[in-house]
Amino acid sequence: MYTLIGSPTTRAFRVLWMLEELGVAYDLVRAGPRSEAILAVNPGGKVPALMVDGETVIDSVAIIQFLADRHGRFTFPAGTIERAQQDSFTQFACDDMDSACWNYAKHSFILPEELRVQEAKPSFAHDFARGMEAFEKRLGDRQYVMGDEFTVPDLLIAHTAGWAKACRFPWPEGKVSAYFERVRSRPAFLKAVEIREAGKA
């Protein structure tokens, strides 16, 4: 049994989605950043955290890759060229997508107002757009980034695409747009959305 600590409106959604993909039992403790529940297991106060076998795993990317490795699904074996290519897409999700969205959000509402630089925000949209241009070429005609099988970076890329839309970044067209729609139509994603929205009621 796993225990996921974090609000599904945060990066905890990624872990929730992966748990639904795996079809494993878990408990969800809805908690925000720096809440008492998360500070008890992560001094940094960041969500999500996953409790497993009496241990704590933090950081959404580390958690979902751990789950994929542990259950032998949605990932290639460590040490293979396929895993290196898979990890490259994971890094793309973090470096080219997540960072642009996170910086935009920080300068919109997260940082204290006196630290926000509104003039910097167009540069984050620019970085995202450039990343999408490269991603379209890398994706090609594949159904998922690694071919016919859904893997960890597909989850990360498709989740972060939702953030990009919320930031009103230029939305890619054609193959990339179809890819986003395809991945975000998976039953486990839709179930995770249902759980997230239920918590807002």
Q: What is the mean pLDDT of residues 117-128?
A: 95
Looking at 3.40.50.170, 1.20.140.10, 3.40.47.10, 3.40.30.10, the CATH number of the domain 2-73 comes to 3.40.30.10
Total residue count of the chain as it appears in this document: 201
pLDDT, the chain, mean: 96
What is the rounded CA–CA span in Å between residue 201 and residue 190? 17
Looking at 1.10.287.610, 2.40.50.150, 1.20.1050.10, 2.60.40.10, the CATH number of the domain 81-186 comes to 1.20.1050.10
pLDDT tier at 201, thresholds 50, 70, 90: low
Domain ranges of the chain: 2-73, 81-186
What is the rounded CA–CA span in Å between residue 120 and residue 103? 9
pLDDT tens-place string over residues 22-66: 999 999 999 999 999 999 999 999 999 999 999 999 999 999 999
Whole-number percent of the chain with pLDDT over 90: 95
pTM check: above 0.85: yes
As beta bridge partners, residue 58 has: 49
Structure tokens that stand for 184 in this block: 């975000």
As beta bridge partners, residue 26 has: 2
pLDDT tens-place string over residues 70-106: 999 999 999 999 999 999 999 999 999 999 999 998 9
